[in-house]
Structure formats: structure tokens, C-alpha cells
């Protein structure tokens, strides 16, 4: 009986192209072929000429479809035949084959698959320039052969079959990569948790009240506002809230609002569509999207431009964003934690921060105390930083402290807080390798004024701006005028270099001349 090729092509295309998963494509093809061809089993495989191997990834029969991962090495005596076939497929774009009696190489494949010898036909096709050759092979039912008309049927359906199979293979690779990325993300989150530690230093002493508030607010979804001086550890507290929440397995995305140029902050936070502006060569997901199902920390929220504050208010109200250049609303499932070293109440009164945004962020404020108010934590912090810096600096033997060193550290006012303590210890470990660490010069060093220095000064020297200006000048002297980069004044003081320059301008501090 003559076959209606046009109808077969139309119906076959619908059947074949109705699925995306590799296994479902193979099953759909098998069932459709079986209505015209005496086929008992179908295999999908990839061929790797550089390793002389074949990988069978799926098979289908009357009962089921099975996902496979069977690797077969091509015997050396068949290498030339294998390479010749690969070259034909590459040059022609595809290659059909059929036989009633398998040759020695085909018999090797039958034996590997534990299939009885039978007539077979198949189609080889190019998956991609940098990808292996793909192929599909069908075996005939017992005692039957494929006619020329039946072989032509496979040729009729070649194009939709190949295109659908290529898409299915690409989809499969995308799924595998996506799962690998998810696994990498879980590993990264666990590594960050291991590095930061589940126990926060000072939780039982200077940060006891802070941790009590953390434990109260963490199980909720309420916004949290962390206030405190630069370097006091607001980011560590934010991470503690995230780890103690129901979102602990989701991402934790910190954003320094003061470090992003005003012209780029919308793109960084909300993302942009391809072609949204000059230089937008591809779609970009913003920080809010990346924090989906997790927590986002908006550090230095007081530095955020007013225009961006308006869009942030919408995120807080509706939990949705819109990329730059887009018209699609993207729903978000995130928790927002904000942090600042500014007095936002005063910023609101002076018109630099939106009052409605302030009310929405200030649901549960937590004040992180400066290091000078929790000096009992200094010994534990010193032990922690010495142990960590010894590993980072690859110092074999962990250095010990000189007698009375802790007392010296506890008499200092620490204007740079925990970050300044960390930098001081790293500097001492570099300068005094193999020797006990002492800090007798802390009062006269360029690290800043102590409480004794301040008490001995006159009333004018106690004004905050004068003290801050003196500290910045001393740090600039220590860095040789360097502001940006590793070892610069911005890094030592724990502030963004651009923020530091703005502060210097306000305080009338002359910028160092470039050498």
C-alpha cells in the first residue's frame, strides 16, 4: 500500500515536535514509526571521534523509554571505518544507513547493547561544530526486514526529527548545566557559611543584646535596619539574620549602595533589557532578581540617590521590579535588610532621604555598638583574626602576643572599629614575623588618637569633625597619600574611596599630589 508522504510528514512533524525532553522525543518517534515500520527498539547515541567512543543516551521500545549513559569504545580494528563515517556526516550534514545483515563493527555494537542480530537502519546528523555527531538507530522486529519504502519514510521525517532532536539535546545540556550551577551555588553558600562561622564573635558579651534582637526578627519577613559606625560589623549581623531565617538556603546578596556610580545604580539593582541603552549588549539580571527566594543587604543605604529610593519603595510595597528598557513586571520573593552609618532621621529632615522609605525600612532597627563599647570582645576577636590571617599569609606557626598586648588594645578607642583591628593585626603580623606581637606604638602611630590623647586635648580638639580630619590625615600619611586600591586609605578606614574623597572635601583636607 502506497504511503501518503505529505500526510506522514505533517502528522509526524506534529508528533515529533511536541516534546522537548530527549526521552519523550525518542518515545514519540518510536511510537509513530511503529505505526508504519516493524521496529522493535530505537536508540539515540552520540559519537566522539576524538576519543573513538560512542555514548548511548536513550532507548525506547513498546513498553517504555529508558534514559541511558552507556559508553562504548570503538575497537582499534574499526577506527578507520568509524572515522570515515564521521567524515561523511560532517561533510554531508547527515548520513542514512541500513543493512539486513550486520557487519563486524555493527555486531560489536549489537553485542555491547546485548541485542540480538537483526536488520537495522539509522540516521547520523551533526549536533554542532564543537559537539559530537548524533545518531538514531532502529532495529527491526524478529524475522522482518525494512523495505525501501520504509527506509524512505525515515528520510521523509529526517528534517523535523533532526531539528527536534538537536533542540532536545541542547535542552538536556542546559538542564545539566543549570543543575551544576545550582549545586555550585549550594556549595558556595556552605563555604561562605563555613568561613564566616555559625557562631558570631561577641554574641555572649558585647553583642548579646544585638543577638537577642537577631533571634527575635530572623524568623519573620520584616525589613531590618542596621545602624552603626563604619567597620562595626553590620554586614556580619545581616548574614546572621539570613542564616537564622527560613531563607538560609537561598542566596544572600550584599550591595554597597555607596560604591555604585549614580548612573549605573538602576542597572545594578534592577537589571536591564538588551538594547535598553548604549552598551547594553545583552540582558542583565539585577541584584534584586539574583536575591530571589533569599535576602538582599542594601549597605550604605543613606548613599542611595533619591531617584533610586523611589524605585526601592515600589519594591518594598509590591515586591516587584521592572528592568530598564522593559515593560514586564517581575515578581520577587525577597527579604530586605538595610544598613547605614548615617542618622537617617536627620537625613529625612534635611531632604536627602525619603520619609516614606525611611518608615518602611525602620520596621525593626538594630543598633550595632562600636568596638570601644564592647572591649570585652577584643581578646576573642584578636584570636580569631590572628588564626585567619596566619592562614591567609601562609605563616606556618601562629604568632603569639607579647605580654600586656591585650591591655594596650583595650585602651585604644578604635575609630575604625573591628575592621581597623583586623588591619592592625595583619600589619603587625607582616612587620613582626617570628616575634611576639606588641602594640606599644599604637598611641603614637598613625592609626589615630586614643582616649588618653582626646582627654588631654582642649575643648576644640574634641569636636567630631576635627578628630575625624586628624585621623584621616594620619592614615593618608601612613599610606603615602594612596586612597584607592589595596593598602589605600579607603581600605584601612573601611570606607568607599569615593565616599572618603567627598568627606575630605567637606573637611577641607588637601588631596595628596600625584607623584
Which of 26, 38, 45, 48 is CA-nearest to residue 113?
Answer: 45
Residue 280: per-residue pLDDT: 78
Domains 5-173 and 197-369 share a fold: no
Which of 514, 510, 490, 491 is CA-nearest to residue 500?
Answer: 490
Q: Are 25 and 172 in contact (CB under 8 A)?
A: no
**What does residue 72 show for φ and ψ, rounded to 5 degrees?**
-120, 125
d(CA 411, CA 423): 17
How many residues in total does the chain contain? 515
Residue 1: per-residue pLDDT: 42
Which of 334, 140, 124 is CA-nearest to residue 223?
Answer: 334
> Tell me: the pLDDT tens digits for 449-497?
444 444 444 444 445 667 777 788 888 878 888 888 777 888 888 788 8
User: By percentage, how much of the chain surpasses pLDDT 70?
Assistant: 87
Q: How far is CA 289 from the centre of its chain?
A: 12
Q: Which positions of the chain have pLDDT values less than 70?
A: 1-5, 8, 12, 15-16, 19, 128-131, 184-199, 440-441, 443-465, 512-515
Map 285-329 to HEC letters: CCHHHHCCCCEEEEECHHHCCHHHHHHHHHHHHHCEEECECCCCE
Q: Are 494 and 231 in contact (CB under 8 A)?
A: yes
- Contacts of the segment 50-56: beta carbons below 8 A, 24+ positions apart: 52/79, 52/82, 54/109, 55/132, 56/113
CATH 3.40.50.300 fits 197-369, yes or no: yes
Cell numbers linked to 412? 585604644
What is the sign of the dihedral through the CA atoms of 225, 297, 183 and 391?
negative
Domain boundaries, the chain: 5-173, 197-369, 372-507
Q: What is the enclosing helix (H) or strand (E) of 95?
A: strand 94-99
Residue 219: per-residue pLDDT: 94
State the average pLDDT for the chain: 82
What is the pTM for the complete model shown?
Answer: 0.57
51's CB contacts (< 8 A; 6+ apart) are none
The answer for 417, left when phi > 0, alpha when psi is -120 to 50, beta otherwise, is left
Class of domain 372-507: mainly alpha
Class of domain 5-173: alpha beta
Residue 464: per-residue pLDDT: 67
Cell numbers linked to 447? 592609626
Reduced to 3 states, what is the DSSP secondary structure of residue 413? Answer: coil
Residue 117: per-residue pLDDT: 92
Q: Are 339 and 234 in contact (CB under 8 A)?
A: yes
105's CB contacts (< 8 A; 6+ apart) are 74, 75, 78, 81, 82
Which of 297, 267, 294, 299 is CA-nearest to residue 283?
Answer: 267
Amino acid at each position: 500500500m502506497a504511503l501518503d508522504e505529505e500526510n506522514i510528514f505533517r502528522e509526524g512533524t506534529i508528533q515529533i515536535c511536541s516534546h522537548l525532553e530527549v526521552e519523550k522525543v525518542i518515545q514519540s518517534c518510536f511510537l509513530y514509526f511503529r505505526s508504519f515500520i516493524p521496529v522493535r527498539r530505537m536508540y539515540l547515541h552520540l559519537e566522539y571521534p576524538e576519543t573513538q567512543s560512542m555514548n548511548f543516551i536513550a532507548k525506547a521500545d513498546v513498553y517504555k523509554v529508558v534514559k541511558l549513559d552507556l559508553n562504548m569504545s570503538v575497537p582499534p580494528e574499526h577506527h578507520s571505518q568509524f572515522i570515515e563515517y564521521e567524515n561523511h556526516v560532517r561533510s554531508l550534514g547527515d548520513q542514512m544507513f541500513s543493512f539486513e545483515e550486520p557487519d563486524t563493527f555493527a555486531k560489536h555494537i549489537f553485542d555491547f547493547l546485548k541485542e540480538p542480530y537483526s536488520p537495522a537502519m539509522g540516521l547520523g546528523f551533526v549536533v554542532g561544530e564543537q559537539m559530537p555527531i548524533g545518531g538514531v538507530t532502529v532495529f527491526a522486529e524478529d524475522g522482518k526486514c525494512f523495505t525501501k519504502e520504509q527506509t524512505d519514510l525515515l528520510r521523509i521525517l529526517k528534517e523535523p526529527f533532526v531539528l527536534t532532536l538537536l533542540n532536545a539535546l541542547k535542552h538536556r545540556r542546559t538542564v545539566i548545566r543549570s543543575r551544576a550551577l545550582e549545586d555550585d551555588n549550594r556549595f558556595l553558600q556552605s563555604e561562605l557559611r563555613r568561613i564566616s562561622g555559625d557562631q558570631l564573635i561577641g554574641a555572649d558579651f558585647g553583642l548579646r543584646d544585638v543577638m537577642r534582637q537577631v533571634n527575635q526578627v530572623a524568623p519573620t519577613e520584616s525589613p531590618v535596619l542596621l545602624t552603626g559606625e563604619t567597620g562595626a560589623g553590620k554586614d556580619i549581623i545581616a548574614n546572621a539574620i539570613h542564616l537564622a531565617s527560613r531563607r538560609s538556603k537561598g542566596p544572600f546578596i550584599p550591595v554597597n549602595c555607596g560604591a555604585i556610580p549614580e548612573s549605573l545604580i538602576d542597572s545594578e539593582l534592577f537589571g536591564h533589557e538588551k538594547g535598553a541603552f548604549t552598551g547594553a549588549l545583552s540582558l542583565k539580571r539585577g541584584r534584586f532578581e539574583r536575591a530571589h527566594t533569599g535576602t538582599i543587604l542594601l549597605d550604605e543605604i543613606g548613599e542611595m540617590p533619591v531617584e533610586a529610593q523611589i524605585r526601592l519603595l515600589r519594591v518594598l510595597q509590591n515586591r516587584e521590579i521592572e528592568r530598564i528598557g522593559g515593560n514586564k513586571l517581575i515578581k520577587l520573593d525577597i527579604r530586605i535588610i538595610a544598613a547605614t552609618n548615617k542618622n537617617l532621621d536627620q537625613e529625612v529632615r534635611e531632604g536627602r532621604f525619603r520619609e516614606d522609605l525611611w518608615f518602611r525600612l525602620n520596621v525593626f532597627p538594630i543598633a550595632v555598638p562600636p568596638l570601644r563599647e564592647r572591649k570585652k570582645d577584643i581578646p576573642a576577636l584578636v584570636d580569631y583574626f590572628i588564626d585567619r590571617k596566619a592562614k591567609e599569609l601562609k605563616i606556618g606557626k601562629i604568632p603569639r602576643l607579647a605580654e600586656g598586648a591585650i591591655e594596650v588594645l583595650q585602651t585604644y578607642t578604635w575609630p575604625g572599629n573591628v575592621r581597623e583591628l583586623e588591619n592592625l593585626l595583619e600589619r603587625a603580623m607582616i612587620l613582626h614575623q617570628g616575634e611576639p606581637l606588641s602594640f606599644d606604638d599604637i598611641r603614637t602611630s598613625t592609626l589615630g588618637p586614643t582616649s588618653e590623647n582626646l582627654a588631654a586635648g582642649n575643648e576644640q580638639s574634641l569636636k567630631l569633625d576635627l578628630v575625624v580630619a586628624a585621623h584621616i590625615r594620619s592614615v593618608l600619611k601612613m599610606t603615602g597619600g594612596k586612597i584607592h586600591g589595596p593598602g589605600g586609605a579607603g581600605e584601612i578606614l573601611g570606607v568607599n574611596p569615593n565616599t572618603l574623597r567627598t568627606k575630605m572635601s567637606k573637611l577641607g583636607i588637601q588631596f595628596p599630589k600625584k607623584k
